[in-house]
Structure 1
Amino acid sequence: MITALILFWPALAALLVLLLKGQSAKKVAFVAALVEFALALYATAGFTNETVAPQFALNIPWVESAGISFSIGMDGISLLMVLLTTFLVPLIVLSSFKHDYKNPNAFYALILFMQTGLIGVFVALDAFLFYFFWEVALIPIYFIAAIWGGENRIKVTFKFFVYTIFGSLFMLAAFVYLYFQTAGTGVSAHSSSVNAFYQLALDSGTQSWIFWFLFLAFAIKMPVFPFHTWQPDTYTESPTQATMLLSGIMLKMGIYGVLRWLLPVVPLGVSQWVDLVLVLSIIGVVYGSIIAIRQHDLKRLIAYSSIAHVGLISAGIFTLNEQGLQGGVIQMLSHGVNVVGLFFIIDIIYRRTNTREITSLGGITQNAKALSIFFMILLLGSVALPLTNGFVGEFLLLSGVFQYNYIFGAVAGLTIILAAVYMLRMFQGVMFGTKSAKTEGFTDLTLTEKAVLIPLVIMVFWIGLFPNTFLEISEPAVGNLLNIIQRR
């Protein structure tokens, strides 16, 4: 029952927010998001590692004659994604308090509706329910970006929408085909449950094309090179809160889809194409890093750095070893925390200076000591400094890739050097040196801004110093995933 409450609470709150006028909408949305986080913490307190089966499950016939159910539940991987989502959304809402968005009730209601879609993706145990929430999550972010975005928002958002819908149709086609293969797999009729899909015994040729149908949908959402071209423009043109939702949470939908619906359903297809996927992922690591080094716009720099980080996560999980999979899960958390923090700091700088150009900034640290500290901590987490959150994930991911192929591991390891180059170059250009005309009167963090950054910084050190807090939650689910793959 708690899973259903976590799933539907944001949607109910969104309906209430829609009825409000003026600035009260943001306050109610923030309180509702905090309640959602409290519900997730309550579920975490009742979660046990003694079983690999989904917990807090609810299974209600949806289209009973067709074997389609409203089936939801959480294993360790799902729970961590729910925690990430419910932790970040209140901070994303709070980060908007200094903005004066037109029609705030619609803006905040769309954020909460999107949260329901995101949670639905992470808890769905039925293929068509998963697809439903996959599309539900897309609709609010489309309108947020298209209505409150930058000058080129319509063109850029349309490209993002077309890319995502294109991939989704391939995923739906694969799900429909798999659904019709489920008769005789231990269920009385056709079924779209995840367990029915796991029991399918498809030949390698069939698994090969299904792999590409599913991978295309997930690779676009992540995004993995060369399916990334929608991402930098969308991140840049979207309002900061939409960029946070896209980078901090929504791209995790693609990674989660790989873990839940791709690797265990078509393992023979994965084995046929894994080397190509690893090559594409590692190209993304190097390509994203090099392009990030060349950027002068802060938002585009972080957008390309995200491509590099996601490329490493993709490479790690496709190694199909425990280190890579666990590294992918923990790095999803770390990346979400770091990228949301960095985009918020960029938003702070932009609101005070009206520019994101590195060459137009400089000397900010002279007037903003607190901002400098928070910025540096989040930056060090992104470059995987030991004792920060990024180190844990990247160490496990690189260990997994090295275990699979030492050449792949060596090339992927360039991410450590390249990330340090573009991140430290950014920090030096923005925070140090001589003040510019735009930074002369720069003011330090407000209380609200600190309230957003402090929880993020706490998580940087919590994950870095006590990673077992999270690794122990996901370990049984990761082990079960590996067992399913190996059995098939």
Structure 2
Amino acid sequence: MNVSLLLIILLVGAVATYLAGNKLASKVALLFSLASLGCTVVLLNHFNLGQNISFISQWITQPKVSFALQADGLAIAMLLLTTALTPIIIYASFANTYKNAKAFYALVLFMAFAMCGTFLASDGLLYYIFWELALIPIYFIALIWGNADLEERRKAVVKFFIYTLAGSLFMLVAFVYMYQKAGSFLIQDLYALDLSATEQLWIFLAFFLAYAIKIPIIPFHTWQANVYQKAPTVGTMLLSGIMLKMGLYSIIRWQLPIAPLAAKEYQTIFISLGIAGVIYGSIVALRQKDLKKLLAYSSLAHVGLIAAGTYALNLDGLRGAVLQMIAHGFVVVGLFFIAEIIFRRYQTNVISEMGGIRSQATGFASLFLILVLASVALPTTFNFVGEFMVLYGLSQINIWFALLGGTTIILGAYYMLKMYQYVMLGETNTKKFAEVSVNEAVTLVIIVAVLFFFGMYPKPITDLITPSLENIITQINRIN
């Protein structure tokens, strides 16, 4: 099957959404996002039947660049995450009113197009183009439709844009260097390069800078909290739910197999950076008074653990990292949507201005509590599966890594339950809090259902990603 069909659907959808006008834009965007999900399910079916899912065509003759797309189990898992969350995010926004809605929703679909392209690209330069394209729509979404003062938004978004663009340029230099040695940007040719230990170290660091900023990993995280807070909730959900996974996915797909010697030599350092993010993010989250900022630092802590799992360089660590990427995507989208629902009623994200919501909206309180418990990896939820496997993978390297990484569960339980207590319990706010609408309930129930289903039965995803991860482990271990 020609995998480029998925990209065509999303790109055509972005154009059609813009042409549909402001009144119909959200519905047209939802229709095309659902079509992309359907296409991904068809791709999965073809993959399970053993059919080749790829597309390759010579694009540029000199330098030799191919429009090469390849979908293995790992890529399909990330496509499912992207195309499942995109319609959820669009549908969740139906209660909001956006100026120039046609441009807003067109940018959302274009961002989904770029992210899917990043997961599918098997040519280094094509991958880099999709990687950078994903930055453009989120820049405008956050700048034009964001919260707070325009000048504050501009500062936060420009910092984010410059950070990510500058880091990515180092990755581009690494690709150009490898092209000069391989004569090709195709991933299999880059995998086959016989690079010295010094060459691998510089290439590894060039990739790391791009990925560490995007994920983010401390100390490259300084853009994150402000952008998450000031972007519209749709933008925050796209950033936290999907876009940061581009960096985590790319560590597994590009960085580790191309520079395995550097990954092994400096493994302790990069695992330590990930775990430092767990502890730092959790401690800073404890001090937050703004709900969106608290969730931003919570996300920082969780992705720090995922990053540590990727650098474990064993199958359990990688498999747990991928499972946790998907689980975190659904949980964080649900939690930021919770923050959006509260903002719709109270017009504030300040935790101290909330309280007593449970007595007015028991259904909302119940759904919120489930998401909080999923976030702290309660058994039977999807997050528990991913975090347990990551910690098991880290324990195979050093038991202290697992123990320190496990603080995300303890600290996370403390600050998340404390936040829930202040927001939902206590004295009733003088403002009335309406129970969730049908739109809000459907969105939250879908997310909760996914978290419980795969928390109790993760086998379909595990079976999907394991062969790809085994191939990557083989590639990493090709040089002892």
Normalised TM-score (structure 1): 0.96
Kept after mapping to 1: 8 A contact 2:314/2:393: yes
Aligned positions of 1:199-238 closer than 5 A: 199-238=192-231
| Percent of residue pairs bearing the same amino acid type | 46
Amino acid at match of 1:175: F
Aligned partner of residue 487 in structure 1, secondary structure: coil
Task: String of CA shifts for 1:218-276, please: whole Å, max 9, x gaps.
Answer: 11000001110000000000000000000000000000110111000000111222111
1:304 aligns with 2:297: yes
Contact 1:224 1:281 in 2 (8 A): yes
Offset of 1:2 from its aligned partner? Answer: 4.0
Deviations 1:160-205 (A, max 9, x none): 00000011100000000011111xxxxxxx1100000100111101
Superposed counterparts of 1:85-124, under 5 Å? 85-124=82-121
- Equivalent residues of 2:25, 2:101 under 8 A apart: yes
Contact 2:15–2:106 under 8 Å retained in 1? yes
Alpha-carbon distance, 1:463 to partner = 1.3
| Alpha-carbon distance, 1:22 to partner | 2.7
Alpha-carbon distance in structure 2 between the residues aligned to 1:403 and 1:393: 16
Question: 1:452 corresponds to which letter in structure 2?
Answer: T
Q: Which moved more, 1:17-26 or 1:338-347?
A: 17-26
Specify the code of the residue in structure 1 equivalent to 2:462. Answer: L
**What residue is the counterpart of 2:437 in the other structure?**
446
Equivalent residue letter for 1:460: L
Q: Which runs of structure 2 are paired with 1:68-83 in the superposition (5 Å)?
A: 68-83=65-80
8 Å contact 2:282–2:408 — kept in the other structure? Answer: yes
Is the Cα–Cα contact under 8 Å of residues 126 and 194 in structure 1 kept in the other structure? yes
2:186 aligned to 179, 182, 193, which one?
193
AA matched with 1:61: Q
The code of the aligned residue for 1:96 comes to S
| Separation in 2, partners of 1:8, 1:226 | 37
> Do 2:46 and 2:53's aligned partners in 1 also have CA atoms closer than 8 Å?
no
Once the two structures are superposed, residues 59-93 of structure 1 have per-residue CA deviations (whole angstroms, 9 ceiling, x without a partner) of 10011343210000111110000000000000111
1:103 alignment partner AA:
N
Determine the C-alpha separation between the residues in 1 that align with 2:478 and 2:168.
28
Distance 1:228 1:49 in 2: 42
Alpha-carbon contact 1:363-1:435 (below 8 Å) kept: yes
1:10 equivalent to 2:7? Answer: no
TM-score (norm 2): 0.98
The answer for the alignment partner of 1:142 in structure 2 is 139
1:49 and 1:476 in contact (8 A); partners too:
no
CA distance in 1 between partners of 2:255 and 2:273 (Å) = 17
The residue type paired with residue 250 of structure 2 is G
Match of 1:78, SS state, is: helix
Given that 1:29 and 1:112 are in contact with CA atoms closer than 8 Å, whether structure 2 keeps it comes out as: yes
1:159 maps to 159
Pick from 312, 319, 330 the counterpart of residue 323 of structure 2. Answer: 330
Aligned to 1:482: 473
CA contact (8 A) 1:365 1:371 kept: yes
Q: Is the 8 A contact 1:58 1:71 kept in 2?
A: yes
In structure 2, give the amino acid aligned to 1:475. Answer: T
- Name which of 280, 283, 287 aligns with 1:287: 280
Distance 1:106 1:312, change over 3 A: same
Residues of 2 paired with 1:472 and 1:50: CA distance?
14
Structure 2 unmatched runs, 5+: none
Provide the alpha-carbon RMSD of the alignment.
Answer: 1.1
Structure 1: stretches of 5+ with no match in the other structure: 183-189
- Deviations along 1:256-310, one digit per CA (max 9) or x if unpaired, are 1101110000001112221111111111000000101111111000000011000
- Which stretches of structure 1, 4 residues or longer, exceed 4 Å deviation after superposition? none
SS in 2 for 1:324: helix
* Aligned counterparts of 2:393 and 2:243: Cα–Cα separation in 1: 24
Question: Residue in 2 aligned with 1:187?
Answer: none
**Which residue of structure 1 aligns with residue 455 of structure 2?**
464
In the alignment, what sits opposite 1:394?
387
- How big is each residue's C-alpha offset from its partner over 1:392-434, in whole Å with a ceiling of 9 and x where there is no partner? 0000000011111111211111111000001101111111111
Shift in Å, 1:372? 1.1
Counterpart-to-counterpart distance in 2, 1:346 and 1:257 = 30
Q: How many residues align?
A: 476
2:30: which partner in 1?
Answer: 30
Distance 1:400 1:142 in 2: 36
Of the three residues 342, 358, 374, the one matched with 2:367 is 374
Letter matched to residue 45 of structure 2? A
Report deviation, 1:20: 2.2
Q: 2:56 aligns with which of 54, 59, 65?
A: 59
**Alpha-carbon offset, residue 49 of structure 1:** 8.1
Identify the residue that residue 252 of structure 2 maps to in structure 1: 259
Write the distance in 1 (CA, Å) between the matches of 2:250 and 2:77.
14
